[in-house]
Amino acid sequence: MRYKLIWLLAVASAALLAVQIPIIFFKLPDELNQGMVYRIIYFHVPAALTAFTCFFVALICSIGFLTTGNARFDSVAAASTETGLAFATVNLITGSIWGRYAWGIWWTWDARLTSMLVCWLLYAGYLMLRRAVEEPTQRARLSAAVSIFAFADVVIVWKSIEWWRTQHPQPVLSLRGGGGMAEGMQAPIYWDFLAFVLLSAILILIRMRQENVRREIDSLRRFAHAL
Amino acid sequence: MDPRNFTYLFYGLLAAWLIIFVYVLTIAARERKLQTELDRVRRMIEEKEASRR
Amino acid sequence: MRSLRAAWVVAGKDLRSELRTKETLNASLSFALVILLLFSFILDPDSQTVRAMTGGLLWLVFMFAGALILNRSFARELPNDCLEALIASPLSGAELFLGKCAANFVLLVLVEVICLPVFGIFYNVRWMRQPGLLFVVLLLGAWALTIIGTMFSALTVNLRLRELMLPTLIYPFLVPALMAAIQLTNVLIGGDTLEKDDYIWFRVLAGFDLIFTLLGMALAESVFVG
């Protein structure tokens, strides 16, 4: 049943991308100042949105684990955070490359890049903590607490850094289309977001199954020692 | 049009998909490792149960 | 009220044991001094640019020195199974957490209060211009560091690489509080009055403290006992 679901998601994701990519590259015109390179935004922004969706899923599952004690919640939380971190990395790297072209520098302490870096560090810390704790239940408990803390912090971090940057102006990377983009140019961002979310769902399902297998191995090993 | 424009676009998209691809590869590697571990533990249990009887 | 009293008992125990040996305080203060010394090589203490950086310098020193205190907070309970005894006691997780936070807070504020005049001397900074508000910022910032640090100290107490992981974990969390504290300290040490724009940072700091105190108390039981 799960394999069928994964295949279905893969087909849907691939179909969406297959439709969007020709649109992104051929139908849309070049941007006035940046030429072709602005098209990175169609992967840069959906990656960020996907990352936050994954982190939010991790939050819900962490709360779920702490309230019910069901270990499956922990598996999903861990899987979701890892996938979210992968997409956050995509966001950071594509933003960096875009910035290199747009302003000639690889990194800038622009509000959004800085916030994303802090988020990345928060959740990298989560994964690091998971790796350091060996006992499964304790690992699940501690990770759940960190995940809840981290998401609360993510919200505060984004707002604070935005205020910091308005007081200390830096070059602003116009990430979201918002007011700046023409009508037809916004849609691919959301379609790509959907495609990425489907892709992340696949990765989460696979990864979650791996966490469950690991738990099964742990319990089997304990059973073996008891024999 | 500035020719670097296309280069940066290319590298940017390459980076994006490469990262996801590398992540998929690590998942696959972990899958293999887990499978061997699972087989090993199951074998160990069978041996112990066989030796008990 | 009984809860507060219980927390106070824990805080008293920690403070009493620390003030008798003063080992963590001494280590923390020495470390702070060393950092101030090192910074003096990096920056020219008399230049105008340093004026703009005083807040950042001060809070970096507090963060680094504070990590030492926070690390010891739960680590000192490891020998002789004291941690198990605390968890098995009638104290609830939240009470234990608050008690530890209170003790760490007192120690942190002590370090800050000692560092401030030393900083003033080394870097030729007159920090007494707006003492009241500056002290409020110090307290709020210290509480932010305490709350996050104590929670993560509890989380990492049983890990091998505890000393390494605690700073790595807490500093990203503290970014908003740190920014707010730095911004406010810069203005207040410079002797300027706070403008309307700056009050937002007070709100950030207070909001951060409140949110994470509540979260910490809510999650303490799960973290300690499970």
The tokens describing C86, both together, are: 């605390």
Q: Closest Cα of chain C to A195: distance in Å? A: 30
- Grade residue B2 by pLDDT with cuts at 50, 70 and 90: low
Distance CA C48, CA A116 (A): 32
Position of tokens 């927390």? C7
Give the pLDDT confidence score for residue A33 in this predicted structure: 58
| Nearest-by-CA chain A residue for B52 | A227
* Average confidence (pLDDT) over A22-50: 75
C1 reaches A (C-beta below 8 A):
no
- H/E/C letters for each residue in A93-157? HHHHHHHHHHHCCCCCCCHHHHHHHHHHHHHHHHHHHHHHCCCHHHHHHHHHHHHHHHHHHHHHH
**pLDDT, tens digit (0-9, with 9 covering 90-100), for A22-34:** 777 776 666 655 6
Give the pLDDT confidence score for residue C163 in this predicted structure: 85
Q: Closest Cα of chain B to A206: distance in Å? A: 8
Element (H, E) at B24: helix B3-52
Residues A16-28 as b or e (16 or more Cβ within 10 Å = b):
bbeebbeebeeeb
Give the pLDDT confidence score for residue A52 in this predicted structure: 94
Closest by CA to B46, choosing from A227, C138, C188, is A227
Q: Closest Cα of chain A to B28: distance in Å? A: 9
Please determine, for residue B49, whether its predicted confidence score (pLDDT) is greater than 60.
yes
Closest by CA to C10, choosing from C104, C84, C78, C75, is C104
The tokens describing A157, both together, are: 């971090």
Distance CA C150, CA C152 (A): 5
Distance CA A96, CA A37 (A): 12
Select the residue from B27, B40, B42, B43 to test the A interface by mutation, using most A Cβ atoms within 10 A.
B27
Distance CA C27, CA C61 (A): 13
Least confident of A75-79, B4-8, C60-64: B4-8
Q: What torsion do the CA atoms of A110, A111, A116, A119 make, to the nearest 10 degrees? A: 130
Find the domain containing C102 and state its range. Answer: 2-224
What's at A182, amino acid-wise? Answer: A
Distances from the Cα of C191 to the Cα of C127, C131, C140, C177, angstroms: 8, 10, 19, 21
**pLDDT, tens digit (0-9, with 9 covering 90-100), for C7-25:** 999 999 999 999 998 989 9
Number of inter-chain CB pairs under 8 A, A vs B: 87
Closest by CA to A77, choosing from A54, A100, A98, A109, is A54
How many percent of chain C have pLDDT more than 90?
49
Please determine, for residue A181, whether its predicted confidence score (pLDDT) is greater than 60.
no
Distance CA A191, CA A28 (A): 15
- Sign of the four-CA dihedral C182, C186, C192, C195: negative
The count of residues in chain A is 227
C121 reaches A (C-beta below 8 A):
no
Q: Contact C211/A152, CB-based, under 8 Å?
A: yes
**pLDDT, tens digit (0-9, with 9 covering 90-100), for A108-129:** 777 788 889 999 999 999 999 9
Distance CA A221, CA C202 (A): 53
Distance CA A18, CA A23 (A): 9
The tokens describing C47, both together, are: 């230049």
Please determine, for residue A184, whether its predicted confidence score (pLDDT) is greater than 80.
no
Closest by CA to C141, choosing from C113, C169, C167, C99, is C113
What's at C135, amino acid-wise? Answer: F
Q: Contact A101/B42, CB-based, under 8 Å?
A: no
* Chain A residues 108-127 with a CB less than 8 Å from chain B: none
Domains in chain C, number: 1
Q: Contact A227/B15, CB-based, under 8 Å?
A: no
| Largest separation between any pair of C-alpha atoms in chain A | 72
Q: Contact C165/A118, CB-based, under 8 Å?
A: no
Radius of gyration of chain C (CA): 18
- C55 burial (CB, 10 Å; 0-12 / 13-18 / 19+) is buried
A31: phi then psi, degrees, rounded to nearest 5: -80, 155
Distances from the Cα of A227 to the Cα of A218, B49, B53, C194, angstroms: 15, 8, 12, 70
Instruction: Give the 3-state secondary structure of residue A35.
Output: strand
Count of alpha carbons within 13 Å of C39, Cβ hemisphere only?
A: 21
A106 reaches B (C-beta below 8 A):
no
Please determine, for residue A176, whether its predicted confidence score (pLDDT) is greater than 50.
no
Distance CA A199, CA C112 (A): 49
Give the pLDDT confidence score for residue A182 in this predicted structure: 59
Q: Contact A93/B30, CB-based, under 8 Å?
A: no
Residues of chain A contacting residue C93, judged by C-beta atoms under 8 Å apart? none
How many percent of chain A have pLDDT more than 90?
32
- Grade residue C45 by pLDDT with cuts at 50, 70 and 90: low
| Nearest-by-CA chain A residue for B5 | A37
Q: Contact C173/A149, CB-based, under 8 Å?
A: yes
> Which stretches of chain A sit within 8 Å of chain C by CB?
66, 118, 121-122, 125, 128-129, 132-133, 137-138, 141-142, 144-146, 148-150, 152-153, 156-157, 159-161, 163-164, 167
Average pLDDT, chain C: 88
Q: Contact A83/B23, CB-based, under 8 Å?
A: yes
Position of tokens 């849907």? A12
Q: Contact B27/A217, CB-based, under 8 Å?
A: no
Please determine, for residue A172, whether its predicted confidence score (pLDDT) is greater than 70.
no
Within 10 angstroms of residue A136's Cβ, the number of other Cβ atoms is: 15
* Average confidence (pLDDT) over C34-58: 82
H helix runs in C76-173, sequence order = 82-88, 93-123, 131-156, 162-173
Distance CA C201, CA C10 (A): 32
ipTM of the complex: 0.87
| Nearest-by-CA chain B residue for A221 | B41
